[in-house]
Structure formats: C-alpha cells, structure tokens
C-alpha cells in the first residue's frame, strides 16, 4: 500500500468521523422530525377503521359430468352451424358478471345496496384501535351532496367491485369468493346476494342456450337418414338434457357450497397494518431528520460564505 492510498483512507475516516459528529450534534433536529412524523402517523392509524374479510368457498362440478357435450361443437360444425360447444368455468363466469355494469346495476338496485352505502348509519359497526373513533368522526363530512341517481348507482357499483374478489385455486379447483368491508356484518350479505343473483342469471342463460341446441338437434334428428347419425344425435340430445338437470341440482352455477361466509371475528382484521405504518414512519422520520440537518447546515454555510464575500 503506497502513501497516496494511506492518505485517501485517512481522509475517508476523517470524513465519516466528521459526518457522525454532525449527526450527533444535530440529534435534536432528527429526534424532533421523527417524533413529529410518528405522531401524525399515529393520528392517521387511529383514524382508520379496521377492515374485515369474509369468504365463501365453492366446489365446481366435475368436468366429466358435462364431458359428453364436447361432441356438440364437432357435430354442429359438420352441419355448418356453431352452437357453442365450448365451456366457461364458474369463476370466469362470475368475474364476467362482476365486470358487467348492467348486471351490477340491476344487482345493486334489486338488493337496495345503494341505500346501505348512502346511509348515515353505515359506519356504526366500525371498529377502531383502542375503540377510539373521535378522530374518524372529526373528519367525516356532514354535507349531503345531491347526486343524480345514475351517479349514485355508478359509485356504489365501483365501490362493490373494489371489495369483491373471485379466484380459483389451480391445484384444487376450488373457487373463493371474498369480500372486505369495515362493517364486518356486511361482506357475508353481499357475497350471498351476488352468488344468488349471478347464479340465477347464468343458469337461465345457460338453459336458453341449451334449449336452442335441443331445437336444432331435434330438427336434425328428424331429417337424419342413417341409423348411426340418428343414434349420435340422440346421444347428444340426452347429454344436453342431463346438463339441464345438473344445472338445477347445484346450489350455485355449476357449483356446490363448501364453506359459507360468516362475519369475521372482531380481532381478525386484514388491515390497516398499524404497527407497520408506525415503523415505516419512524424510519422515514430518521431519514428526513438527517436530510433536514444537512440541508440546514448547507444553508448556514452558504449564508456564511455570502457574508464573508460581502465584507
């Protein structure tokens, strides 16, 4: 190691020592900045109500139960007609309706969820840290903005979409329908209502499609000349009728109920993560405090050099 390298190491050590001394000297500024930031973060987490989640688990019907209908597409294509031989999984069907505004609008109006979201008592069951809700009430607006009915429904649909999630487990095939809200009594109600209305719509739509298939294949059956073709068409008609029966036998669209959504336990919240927010605010407070310290020192040095030049 040559003399130049030794000199550079010594200078780095001096710089780090001076830097640490400046931080120690300005520890009050850092501490004050941290305390202020943590204090406001504490007020913020006190203002936030707990959010709870409820979940329903569904078991889709075995794909083999409707496997015979796979022949529909091939046979219909031979006849020059597409009757929709493909299938759609229940989770995709439910998500499609969740994204469909017309369906959700009807859903909200029918179940009167717009009244719930506009009710002044909507937050009466909210749970807060230390049961302290004064800050929350303080920031609540009392003014009642008059909104067009369509705007109200649009806002409610948007709010519901934010809190409902529908997913399928790739390994087990089980479908989870989850809903979150600060009122832990509300998610089970909206899950049950959504599954009932969505299933009714999907079953009715599926039966209409199957009835069109039956009309088509019965017509083809009457015009079929060979015994083999008549037998094949008769088997497909039988499969369609079996699927219609299967549709009516399920609790929900192509699904049976495995677990029912119930109100979450009062301590089983999913958010806010208050401890995490406070820890992040503490670390951020230290970083901002150090930044403020060096910024003030920079301003002070610049002012001193400016005064010296003036003299």
- The 3 state secondary structure assigned to 55-114 is EEEEEECCHHHHHHHHHHHHHHHHCCCCCCCCCCCHHHHHHHHHHCHHHHHHHHHHHCHH
Q: What is the pTM of this model?
A: 0.80
- Largest CA-CA distance found in the chain, in angstroms, rounded: 115
Average pLDDT, the chain: 85
Sign of the dihedral through C-alpha 108, 112, 118, 120: negative
Q: Which of 77-91, 138-152, 166-180, 220-234 has the lowest mean pLDDT?
A: 77-91
Sign of the dihedral through C-alpha 209, 210, 213, 219: negative
**Rounded-to-integer distance, Cα 198 and Cα 95, Å:** 10
Residues 120/110, Cβ–Cβ less than 8 Å: no
Segment 104-121, tens digit of pLDDT: 999 999 999 999 988 888
Kindly indicate the confidence band of residue 21, based on its pLDDT and cuts at 50, 70 and 90: confident
Kindly indicate the confidence band of residue 88, based on its pLDDT and cuts at 50, 70 and 90: confident
From the list 100, 102, 104, 83, the residue with the least C-alpha distance to 92 is 100
Residues 46/128, Cβ–Cβ less than 8 Å: yes
Residues 72/214, Cβ–Cβ less than 8 Å: no
Segment 172-230, tens digit of pLDDT: 999 999 999 999 999 999 999 999 999 999 999 999 999 998 999 888 888 888 888 88
From the list 74, 182, 171, the residue with the least C-alpha distance to 124 is 182
Domain map of the chain by residue range? 3-47+272-310, 52-259
List the Cα angle 193/194/198 in 5-degree steps.
120
> How does DSSP classify residue 252?
B
Q: What per-residue confidence (pLDDT) applies to 2? A: 56
């Amino acid at each position: 190691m040559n003399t130049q390298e030794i000199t550079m190491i010594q200078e780095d050590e001096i710089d780090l020592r001076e830097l640490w001394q400046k931080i120690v000297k300005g520890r009050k500024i850092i501490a004050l900045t941290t305390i202020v930031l943590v204090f406001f973060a504490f007020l913020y987490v006190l203002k936030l109500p707990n959010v709870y989640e409820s979940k329903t688990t569904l078991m889709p019907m075995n794909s083999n139960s409707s496997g015979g209908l796979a022949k529909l597409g091939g046979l219909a294509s031979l006849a020059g007609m597409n009757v929709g031989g493909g299938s759609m999984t229940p989770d995709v069907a439910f998500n499609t309706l969740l994204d469909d505004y017309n369906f959700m609008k009807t859903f909200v109006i029918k179940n009167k969820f717009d009244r719930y979201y506009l009710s002044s008592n909507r937050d009466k069951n909210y749970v807060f840290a230390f049961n302290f809700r004064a800050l929350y009430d303080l920031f609540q607006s009392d003014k009642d903005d008059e909104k067009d009915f369509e705007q109200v429904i649009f806002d409610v649909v948007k709010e519901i979409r934010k809190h409902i999630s529908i997913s399928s487990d790739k390994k087990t095939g089980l479908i989870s329908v989850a809903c979150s809200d600060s009122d832990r009594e509300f998610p089970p109600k909206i899950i049950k209502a959504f599954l009932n209305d969505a299933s009714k719509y999907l079953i009715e739509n599926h039966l209409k499609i199957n009835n069109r298939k039956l009309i088509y294949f019965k017509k083809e059956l009457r015009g079929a000349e060979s015994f083999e073709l008549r037998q094949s068409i008769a088997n497909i008609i039988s499969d369609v009728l079996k699927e219609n029966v299967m549709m009516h036998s399920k609790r929900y669209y192509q699904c049976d109920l495995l677990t029912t959504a119930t109100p979450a336990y009062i301590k089983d919240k999913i958010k806010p993560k208050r401890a995490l927010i406070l820890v992040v605010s503490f670390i951020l407070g230290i970083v901002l405090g150090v930044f403020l310290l060096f910024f003030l020192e920079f301003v002070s040095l610049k002012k001193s050099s400016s005064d010296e030049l003036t003299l």
